[in-house]
Structure 1
Amino acid sequence: MINISQPSLGAEELEAVREVFSSNWVGYGPRTRAFEREFAEHLGVAPERLIFINSATSGLFLSTELLDLGPGDDVVLPSVSFVADANAVAATGARPVFCDVDPHTLNPTVADIARAVTPRTRAVIVLHYGGHPGDIVAIAAFCRDRGITLIEDASVSVASAVDGRHCGTFGDIAMWSFDSRKVITTGDGGMLYVRDPELGRRAQRLAYHGVDDRSTFTTASAVPRRWWELAIHDVGRRVIGNDLTAAIGSVQLRRMPTFIERRREITETYNRLLRDVAGIRRPPPPPAGHTSSYYFYWVQLDPAIRDDVAEDLLDRGIYTTFRYEPLHTVPIFRADADLPGTAEAAANTLLLPIHQGLDDADVRTVADELCKAVEHRRASAQS
Structure 2
Amino acid sequence: MMINVFQPSLGAEELSAVSEVFESNWLGHGPRTKEFEAQFAAHLDVAPENTIFISSATAGLFLTTELLGLGPDDDVVLPAVSFVAAGNAVAATGARPVFCDVDTHTLNPTAAHVERALTPRTKAVLLLHYGGHPGDIAAIANLCRTRDVRLIEDAACAVASGVDGKKAGTFGDVAMWSFDSMKVLVTGDGGMLYVRDAELARRARRLAYHGLEQSSGFAAAKVSHRWWELNVQDFGRRIIGNDLTAAIGSVQLRRLPEFVERRRAVAEQYDRLLADADGIRLPPALPAGHTGTYYFYWVQLDAAVRDQVAADLLEKGIYTTFRYPPLHKVPAYRGGGAVLPNTDTASSTTLLLPLHQGLDDAEVRTVADELRKAVEHRGAGTRA
Q: TM-score range by the shorter chain?
A: over 0.9
Pairing of 1:1-383 with structure 2 (within 5 A): 1-213=2-214, 215-217=216-218, 226-334=226-334, 335-378=336-379
Whether contact under 8 Å (1:210, 1:232) holds in the other structure is yes
Specify whether residues 264 and 224 from structure 1 end up closer, same or farther in structure 2 by C-alpha distance, changes over 3 A only. Answer: farther
Whether contact under 8 Å (2:177, 2:192) holds in the other structure is yes
Structure 2 counterpart SS, 1:281: coil
Whether contact under 8 Å (1:106, 1:129) holds in the other structure is yes
Distance 1:129 1:299 in 2: 14
Distance 1:367 1:230 in 2: 60
Which amino acid in 2 is paired with 1:243?
D
Distance 1:69 1:379 in 2: 46
Distance 1:273 1:337 in 2: 38
Structure 1 counterpart SS, 2:29: coil
**Offset of 1:227 from its aligned partner?**
3.6
Distance 1:26 1:35 in 2: 14
Distance 1:331 1:371 in 2: 36
Deviations for 1:285-333, whole angstroms, at most 9, x for unmatched residues?
0000000000000000000000000000000000000000000011212
Structure 2 counterpart SS, 1:304: coil
Whether contact under 8 Å (1:55, 1:189) holds in the other structure is yes
Which amino acid in 1 is paired with 2:183?
K
Which amino acid in 2 is paired with 1:45?
V
Structure 2 counterpart SS, 1:378: coil
Query: Which ranges of 4 or more aligned residues in structure 1 deviate by more than 6 Å?
Result: none
Deviations for 1:82-117, whole angstroms, at most 9, x for unmatched residues?
000010001111000000000000000000000100
Structure 1 counterpart SS, 2:66: helix
Specify whether residues 223 and 21 from structure 1 end up closer, same or farther in structure 2 by C-alpha distance, changes over 3 A only. Answer: farther
Distance 2:249 2:23 in 1: 18
What is the TM-score normalised by the length of structure 2?
0.96
Give ranges in structure 2 of 5+ residues lacking alignment: none
Whether contact under 8 Å (2:110, 2:135) holds in the other structure is yes
**Offset of 1:215 from its aligned partner?**
4.7
Which amino acid in 2 is paired with 1:263?
R
Distance 2:217 2:155 in 1: 31
**Offset of 1:231 from its aligned partner?**
2.0
**Offset of 1:226 from its aligned partner?**
4.2
The percent identity for this pair of structures is 72
Specify whether residues 302 and 296 from structure 1 end up closer, same or farther in structure 2 by C-alpha distance, changes over 3 A only. Answer: same
**Offset of 1:49 from its aligned partner?**
0.4
Distance 2:214 2:314 in 1: 50
**Offset of 1:276 from its aligned partner?**
1.6
**Offset of 1:379 from its aligned partner?**
6.6
**Offset of 1:18 from its aligned partner?**
0.3
The Cα RMSD (Å) is 1.8
Whether contact under 8 Å (1:216, 1:228) holds in the other structure is no
Distance 1:182 1:166 in 2: 17
Which amino acid in 1 is paired with 2:184?
V
**Offset of 1:213 from its aligned partner?**
2.4
Distance 2:113 2:93 in 1: 24
Distance 1:80 1:87 in 2: 14
Which amino acid in 2 is paired with 1:308?
Q
Distance 2:65 2:162 in 1: 24
Give ranges in structure 1 of 5+ residues lacking alignment: none
Whether contact under 8 Å (1:216, 1:227) holds in the other structure is no
Specify whether residues 223 and 8 from structure 1 end up closer, same or farther in structure 2 by C-alpha distance, changes over 3 A only. Answer: farther
**Offset of 1:225 from its aligned partner?**
5.6
Distance 2:70 2:378 in 1: 48
Distance 1:33 1:216 in 2: 11
Deviations for 1:108-147, whole angstroms, at most 9, x for unmatched residues?
0000000100000000000000000000000000001111
**Offset of 1:224 from its aligned partner?**
11
Whether contact under 8 Å (2:302, 2:380) holds in the other structure is no
Whether contact under 8 Å (2:207, 2:234) holds in the other structure is yes
Tell me how many residue pairs correspond in the alignment. Answer: 380
**Offset of 1:230 from its aligned partner?**
2.3
Distance 1:149 1:97 in 2: 15
Specify whether residues 379 and 258 from structure 1 end up closer, same or farther in structure 2 by C-alpha distance, changes over 3 A only. Answer: closer
Distance 1:330 1:361 in 2: 39
